[in-house]
C-alpha cells in the first residue's frame, strides 16, 4: 500500500470522519475550516486517491461521491503489516515495538492474540 502525501492524508481524514460518501465540495468545506484550497485541487487529490485505490466513487447527477475503501484502523494496520513485510528482521521490529507499548496497549494485544489462538 502506498503512503499518503500530506494533502492526501488531509482528504482521507475528512472521508474517514464522514459517515456518508462525500462530494468534492463537501470535502472542500471541511478542509476550508483549517486551510484555503481550490476546488480543483481537492478534486485532483480525490482523483489521485481513486487511482491509488484508497477511495471508491459513484456518480450522483454530474458529480462523484467519494468514500474510503477501508477504515482508518484497517489502513493503519496495513501500514504496520507493510513495515513488517519489508523489514529485514521483523522479529526485532516486533520486539522493539512491544517494548514501546503502554500497559493498556499490551493488554489489548494480549487479548487479541488469545482470541486468535482460540480461532485456530
pLDDT digits (tens, 9 = 90+) for 61-84: 999 999 999 999 999 999 899 999
Q: Tell me how far apart the alpha carbons of residues 77 and 27 are, in angstroms, rounded to a whole number.
A: 24
Q: Tell me how far apart the alpha carbons of residues 100 and 59 are, in angstroms, rounded to a whole number.
A: 45
- Report the share of the chain in percent with pLDDT over 90: 86
Q: What is the pTM of this model?
A: 0.81
Work out the pLDDT band at 118, boundaries 50, 70, 90.
Answer: confident
In this model, does residue 2 exceed pLDDT 90? no
In this model, does residue 102 exceed pLDDT 60? yes
- Classify residue 7 as left (phi > 0), alpha (psi -120 to 50) or beta: alpha
Assigned C-alpha cell, 108: 489489548
Q: Tell me how far apart the alpha carbons of residues 16 and 69 are, in angstroms, rounded to a whole number.
A: 10
Amino acid at each position: 500500500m502506498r503512503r499518503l502525501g500530506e494533502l492526501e492524508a488531509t482528504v482521507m481524514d475528512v472521508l474517514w470522519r464522514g459517515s456518508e460518501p462525500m462530494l468534492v465540495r463537501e470535502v472542500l468545506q471541511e478542509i476550508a475550516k483549517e486551510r484555503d484550497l481550490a476546488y480543483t485541487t481537492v478534486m485532483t487529490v480525490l482523483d489521485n486517491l481513486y487511482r491509488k485505490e484508497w477511495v471508491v466513487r459513484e456518480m450522483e447527477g454530474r458529480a462523484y461521491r467519494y468514500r474510503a475503501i477501508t477504515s482508518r484502523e484497517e489502513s493503519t494496520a496495513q501500514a504496520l503489516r507493510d513495515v513488517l513485510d519489508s523489514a529485514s528482521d521483523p522479529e526485532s521490529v516486533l520486539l522493539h515495538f512491544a517494548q514501546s507499548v503502554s500497559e493498556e496497549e499490551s493488554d489489548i494485544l494480549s487479548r487479541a492474540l488469545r482470541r486468535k489462538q482460540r480461532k485456530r
